[in-house]
Structure formats: structure tokens, C-alpha cells
Amino acid sequence: MFEEISDYFLALAYVGFAISLMAFIPIYTKKIKITYIIPLLVMGAVIYWLEAPLPWPDPLWEFNFGKIVTEVIVIISLMTAGLKVGTNYTWGHWKKPLSLIVITMPLFMVAVFCLAHFVLGLHGAASLLLAAVLAPTDPVLASELQLEEHQDLDEKNTGLRYTLTAEAGINDGLAFPFVFLAILLSESGSLAEIDWWHFAWYYVLFKIVVGLMVGAVIGFIYSYAVSFHTDREKKYILKGFIALALTFFSYGLAEGFGTYGFLSVFATGVFMQYYRPADTDKNINTTMVHFIEETEKLLVALWTIFFGGAVMSGILSFTDWRGMLVALAIVVVVRPLFGYLAMATTNFSTAKKWAIGFFGIKGIGSFFYLSFALMHGTFEGYRELFGIVSYVVLFSIVIHGLTSLRVIDYFKRNNKG
């Protein structure tokens, strides 16, 4: 008994120490131009090697537990993205991230499906699931590439940061229909047995449209209610924890209606600023953005540490060298190529088009989708899927983590695109 209590306190000490370093890590990682995720990953591997008594994945968490952990992190990140984007962008601005949804996302999924099915030999349902879970640009691990704060009407970023932030907010929900299609395929056995009419109107139209509406209404009502209060009263209303509360409220209500909660949360964040005044000092309190952003970083730090432990405990061994090469190709070839194709019609410089295409960061959301699908479908060789996804996320963390801040600095210095 006393040994168990000792392990408990030791675990708390490990976690507390690791998280406390988050106050210092970003300072030094910015100096050497890498993201703070990389040292956290290394720290997780070291703490696992030291045999810290933490609830390590071995190398997987139980599906439901893994789903809940990643789910909470993703929805908080989506609220952060929504708050930063707000309602200050015109249709002309939105066309750029939507191009990544309409062009890049489907072409990316077709390419990943072909690689999984014809190169790795995965069956149809598993190949489709892999394509769906890797399709979204992760709003969590891409946070250092996204908008740094909420945007003003007159002075707002309309380039790389905005495009990637808006894309991540949208496509993290739009991947869900394809996840459900993979689940239906795994249960039915063939595409011919799927009720395509039901899939189209329910899983695609209803869940997307109503999910967005639920979030937009919640954000609009909140913004409208705030507008009736004085500046003094708003100091008590525009608190950071409200963003967190509305995150859970929006997600829970949307999922309760049977819609896509990810889209709802992002829409809530966007429309929370619908009735923002022209005076930027009276807009959505920056404390609100900073609070939920710090909450996001806390949870990301914990997840990254545990992912480092999963890598050490053998999650990469679930696939072979072919899976590793396919994962690398997905990160450095497939996404950059189709991302550039979507940006080809924009007025961005060639360098910025390639940068937006290249930084389709994959991360925590992929593990959520994978856990969710495995809880509801029947997939052969699911362990190999975890291995491939882990390689993709690991490559994304390392490659994008070593390059993203340098690319951002390049565009700042040269003011291109």
C-alpha cells in the first residue's frame, strides 16, 4: 500500500516537473528555431526510460481512454483556432483555406488509400480509414504555425498563418464522414452493401450543416448577450474559462444532436466575435484567447510526453520498413504536392504556396479518429494502422518542428506572398 502511494506522489512529481519546464522550453526553442514539441517528445522518451510510474501506453492506451484524451485536446485547440480567426475575414479570404478542403483533402485521401491498399496490402476498409484519419491538418501540433492572436478588422494576417489556421479548423470535422464510411465498409464487407443515400444525407449533409449551425448559434447568442453589457461588466463576462466552458457546451450539444462536434466548436469560436465593437481594445478579451491557449499547451505537453513513451515502448514496431517509407512519403511528398496544387490559383508567392502545402501537420486528431473508428468498426490489422499513424505523426513532429519557425522567419524578413 505504502509503495503504491509513493509511486503516486512520484508520478505527480514527474508530471509537475515536466510541465513546469513549459515556462522555459519555448524561450530557448525559439532561439534555435525549433518547435517546443520536439524537446517534449525527447523528454517523454527519457522519462519512460527512467521507468517513471506513469500510466504509459503499452504501447497503446485502451481505445476509449485514448479517444477521450485526444478528443478533449482537439476540441480545445479548435476553439483556440476559432477565436483567433473570428468573423473578420471575407469570402475572398475564406476561399484559400477552402481550396485546401475541396482540392487537397480528397486528392490526399485517394493517394493515401492507394498507397495503403496497393503498396502495403491493407484491405479496403483499413486503407480508407488510414486515408481519413490522416486527412486533417492537426490544429494542435500546428499551433506554432497558426495565428498568434485574435485578428483585428483592419490589421489581420491573410497569408500562411491564417490559411493553415482556418484549414485546420474546418477539415478536422470534415474528415469524419470518411471515417464513418470506413466504419460502414468494415461492417458491410463491400461498397455495394452501403446505403449511399443514407450516408449522403445523414453522415455528410445533416451532420456537417447542423453541426456548423449549432456552433454558430451558440457563438452568436453569446456575442449578442455580451454586447448588451457595459465595458465594466464585460470585464467579468469575458473571462478565459468561458471559452473553455463554451467549448464543452458546444461540443456536447452538437454531439447530442448527432452532428459533428468538431465543426460546432470551431464555429462557436468564430461567431463568439460576431458583435465585437470597432474599438479593438473592447473586442474579445485577449485573456480569453490566452487562457484557452495555455490550457491547450498544458494538455499537449502531457500528450507529447506520453507519445514519447509510446514510441519507446514499441508502437512503431506495429509496421515494417514499407509502412515507415509510406509514412515519410505522406509527410514530404503527398501533402506538399496536393497542397501546392490547391494554392496554385491564389496570389501567394511560389514559396508561400509550397510552404502552405508542406505544412499539413499531422498529429493528435489522427489518433482520435483511429481510436473512435476501432471502437465502432471491425478492422483487420488495426495495430499496423497505429504503427503507420505513429510514424506519420513522428515524422511530422520532427520535420515540421525543425523547419516551421525558420520558414515563418523567412517570410517575415522578406515580406513575401
Grid coordinates representing 112? 493515401
Reported as a single tens digit per residue, the pLDDT across 354-391 is 999 999 889 899 999 999 999 999 898 889 999 999 99
Cα 21 to Cα 27: distance, rounded to the nearest angstrom? 10
Q: Which domains does the chain have, with CATH numbers?
A: 2-414 (1.20.1530.20)
HSE, side-chain direction, 13 A CA sphere, residue 55 = 9
CA 344-164-408 angle, 5° bins? 90
- What is the H or E stretch that residue 261 is in? helix 261-271
Span 217-269, pLDDT tens digits: 999 999 898 888 877 777 777 777 888 999 999 999 999 999 999 999 999 99
Predicted local distance difference test score (pLDDT) of residue 336: 95
pLDDT given at position 1 = 44
Bond from prior residue into 336 cis (ω within 30 degrees of 0): no
pLDDT above 50 for 104: yes
**What mean pLDDT is predicted for residues 9-27?**
83
With 70 as the cut, is the pLDDT of residue 136 above it? yes
58/73 Cα distance (integer angstroms): 21
Q: Which residue has the higher pLDDT, 8 or 155?
A: 8
Q: Which of 148, 152, 159, 31 is nearest to 415 (CA)?
A: 159
State pLDDT tens for residues 24-69. 888 898 889 898 899 999 999 999 998 888 888 888 888 889 999 9
Q: Are 161 and 359 in contact (CB under 8 A)?
A: no
The mean pLDDT of the chain is 87
Condensed to tens digits (0 to 9), the pLDDT of residues 300-327 reads 889 999 999 999 999 999 999 999 999 9
For every residue of 137-200, which 3-state class applies, written as one string?
CCCCCCHHHCCCCCCCCCCCCCCHHHHHHHHHHHHHHHCHHHHHHHHHHHHHCCHHHCCHHHHH
Residue 353 has pLDDT above 60, yes or no: yes
pLDDT reading at 150 higher than 70: no
Reported as a pLDDT band with limits 50, 70 and 90, residue 143 is: low
Which range has the worst mean pLDDT, 25-39, 202-216, 278-292, 340-354? 278-292
Residue 337: is its pLDDT beyond 50?
A: yes
30 SS3 class: helix
Q: Three-state DSSP class for 58?
A: coil
Cell triple for residue 357?
502545402
C-alpha cell at 65: 481512454
Residue 12's pLDDT is 83
**pLDDT over 70, % of the chain:** 91
Cα dihedral 357, 363, 368, 370, rounded to 10, equals 70
Distances (CA, A) of 159 to 146, 269, 402: 10, 20, 21
